[in-house]
Structure 1
């Protein structure tokens, strides 16, 4: 008789465990279908999220000589800021900073002194700086042959916060 009582208690315990599991599954399902937010975020909410994630990374001040058509010596001094939505990118930028600064300096040194002050040329320089920095970051400084993620580049824009030509 003792064996039947143990067997009966085991069945009751097993049924109780199954009932508790079913209740947990039902509660999870109810939460999933009824309580979670299914509405897509509005455009204003997306813009607010982007604004909170926006980070500017300063490349520092860069000075180099320019190509001259008049025989004189001309210099350019700029301060470049990079815009990103990845808060963790600054550490990677610091890792590649010598290579990034070198690339920007080479780009600036290739400019002609009489044309570099033109706003259209400045815009082209910023676009090229952004593309070059993204290339460096996405190929691990040239170690990879192709960019890892070309659809969502790490740097979304580049800006001059200071621009002096002498």
Structure 2
């Protein structure tokens, strides 16, 4: 009888080893299938992107150089607010325009441009211009004033207004 117990235990041991081997093979197979699926999905995505968007040829363009128009400084008495009657704005400007035509138009009509800007500046109070929002609004106002026609055709396109000096007294 002792021999039968050993053979049953070895039979269970062999069955257990075989079961572990089958489980191990199934796990390796599942991992292999998952890896292959992931690889194919990435390839499929790359093919879809390359098919939908043909490579575009980009032309090499030279960077556009900005065109600046420096203006002489302005000294303007500001609109009185409350008890303050003697407030003065000292402001230096440089205008950035689209092209050389706009620059030459500003230079040609410089007295009218300066007059428009002086009228604009004198309509503001020191309280308005002391805040950042007031300065931003002033930039927008300058752009708007200069887009109105200087001659019979059109005004100039000012892309930016740069402050060189800004002193409130």
Give the TM-score normalised by structure 2: 0.59
| CA distance, structure 1, for counterparts of residue 109 and residue 91 of structure 2 | 19
**Which residue in 1 is equivalent to 2:63?**
49
2:120 maps to which of 104, 107, 124: 107
Matched, 1:39 2:57: yes
Match of 2:141 among 119, 123, 128: 128
CA contact (8 A) 1:83 1:157 kept: yes
- The two structures, once aligned, show a CA RMSD in angstroms of 2.2
CA displacement at 1:132 relative to structure 2: 1.2
Q: Which has the larger radius of gyration?
A: 2
CA distance in 1, matches of 2:100, 2:84: 45
Q: What secondary structure is seen at the aligned counterpart in 2 of 1:72?
A: coil
Give the C-alpha shift of residue 85 in structure 1: 3.2
| Aligned-pair CA distance for 1:128 | 1.0
Listed as ranges, the gaps of 5+ residues in structure 1 are 1-37
Mapped contact 1:100–1:136 kept (Cα < 8 A): no
Which of 89, 97, 102 is matched with 2:110 structurally?
97
Whole-Å Cα distance in 1 between the matches of residues 162 and 69 of structure 2? 10
**Secondary structure, counterpart of 1:111 in structure 2:** coil
The answer to whether residue 161 in structure 2 is matched with residue 155 in structure 1 is no
Partner Cα separation in structure 2 for residue 87 and residue 79 of structure 1? 21
Using structure 1 for the length normalisation, give the TM-score.
0.60
Give the CA deviation at 1:75: 0.5
Any gaps of 5 or more consecutive residues in structure 2? 1-55
